[in-house]
Structures are given as C-alpha cells and as structure tokens.
Amino acid sequence: MAGIMERVFPLQSSLDAIDDRRNSSFSKVPTACIMGPPSTMKTAMLMQAAITEGAGGGRVLFVAPKKLDSLPPGVHGMPQASSSAMNNITFLYARHTSELQGYLASLHLIPAADRPTLIIIDELHFYTSPQDCGDAATQMVNIARIISLAQESAEYCSSGSFNSDLQNNARSQCSVLVSWTQHTSNVLKSGVFEAFARDFCHHIWVVKMKNKGNGRDSAEYHLVEQCNNTCTISYSACYMSPVQYLILNQVTLEAEEAELLENSLIMEKK
C-alpha cells in the first residue's frame, strides 16, 4: 500500500525522498502524527486516509472521542466515501483512555481477516490529558503508552493478516496515524511534544495556517515535516456550500542549509 501521507493527498512519488526515513528506534511500524492548532482540518486528513485505505481493500480502525456529526471535507483527487470504502472502516468512540487501551490490546482476538491495516487515533491529546488536568510528565507517559500499544497491535495485525483484496494479494503492513491538537492552555508545549513524539513516530507533520483566504470561503495551510529535509505540503480548504473539500496546491522539499553548504564545498574542491 502507499505511504501514510499518500493516503491523504494525491502525492504520487512526491515524498519518495523522505518515505524511507524511519528514525524511530522503538518500532518498525510506519507511524505518523499530524499536529497543529484547533480547526486546521486534521480530522479531515485522517478521514481521507481512512477512506483511501478502505477503498483499496484495507481495513481501518478509526478511534475518536466522539461521533462525528457528518463526514469532514474530502481531498480533491482522492477516493470518495463510497459505501464499499466506508464498510471497511470500523469506528470506535472511546470516551476514556482505559477504553482505548483495552480495545487496542484486544485486537489479537479479532479474526485475521478483520484485523486493521491502518489504525487511526484522532485527538490523541484527549486521551493523554484526562479532563485537561494532566501535567506535562503525565501526558508524555500516556503518549508513549498509547502510541506504543497501537504499534504493538499494528505489528501483530501485520504478522497475522492476509487481505486478498489488496493488490498482488500481498500481506498487508499495518500503519498508525494519529492527530494532536495543540491548545494554548496545554502545559505540554508544542515543541516539547514534537521532540518527544519523534522517539515514537517516523514522521511528525505540523499544520501551520498560511492565510484565511477570501472571508470564510477558503483557507490555506502548510503541512511541514522538518528533519533531514524539510517537506512542505501546501493545501487549501474550500468551504463553498454545498461543496466542501481540500485541494493539494504544492509540495516542496528543501535540504537543510548544512547539507547545501557541504555540497557547495564539494563542488569547490572539484
């Protein structure tokens, strides 16, 4: 199956340069986190990843604190929410951290044919700071516990699953995708969370609002993954009724200044 972000946007081969970067020494399970302030379309991106996976014959576990009133906007050029795709998505509305952990720990009891190929946890912050009273240390412990449990469950699902609907009848690799909303009141600041989460996630994508567009009809965002190379996915959200959707604008990949300087020195020596 495609990489995690290729399930969200029609990227094709745009992320090949960073797709094989697996920095996490904790787990080999492909794991990504989308973090950012409230109302930046994080849930929409997670839902699109779920729909894309379901449309391709994979099975998805989508965990959220509460039921969605309606499906969020889809991404232009990506699979739509057909009945066949939605039938492959299992929604779990877990109101308590213990409920989420218990379900993840019980995935090995599910028949092999029904085990997920993608585990999504929306609003991870809800489960790491119960009732908004968790200090930074407590939240980091809960982050580590939940992500590691999701990865362990994903690894088990990968080792024991076989999906005949997937292309080439290949044994599917289960991945993990989570979102984190950075509220200004949270004692765990965004920089601390990002640095800590990199020990568990292969990719941390940070949502930054570029501008609000024309009134309330649209907004532009940058989705940035910064490590050895800085990858920026520029996308827009269009709210024009009755059609609401996200659209990919541009993907840029920039090498770090140190790498550019090193390449420059090599050229000078030649």
* Residue scoring higher pLDDT (185 or 91): 91
The pLDDT, as a whole number, for residue 19 is 56
Taking only the tens place, the pLDDT of each residue in 210-240 is 876 555 678 999 999 987 778 999 999 997 7
The pLDDT, as a whole number, for residue 211 is 75
| Averaged pLDDT, 41-62 | 98
pLDDT for residue 269 is more than 60: no
Q: If pLDDT is split at 50, 70 and 90, which confidence band does 204 have?
A: very high
| Averaged pLDDT, 9-30 | 68
Task: Report helix, strand or coil for 75.
Answer: strand
Q: Which residues lie closer than 8 Å to 251 by C-beta, 6 or more apart?
A: 11, 14, 15, 231, 232, 233, 234
Chain-wide mean pLDDT for the chain?
85
* CB burial of residue 65 (10 Å; 0-12, 13-18, 19+): middle
| Averaged pLDDT, 162-168 | 48
pLDDT for residue 33 is more than 80: yes
The pLDDT, as a whole number, for residue 258 is 47
The pLDDT, as a whole number, for residue 227 is 72
| Averaged pLDDT, 78-105 | 96
Distance CA 160, CA 66 (A): 30
Taking only the tens place, the pLDDT of each residue in 118-162 is 999 999 999 987 654 568 888 999 999 999 999 999 999 998 544
Q: Please, what are the domains in the chain?
A: 5-207 (3.40.50.300)
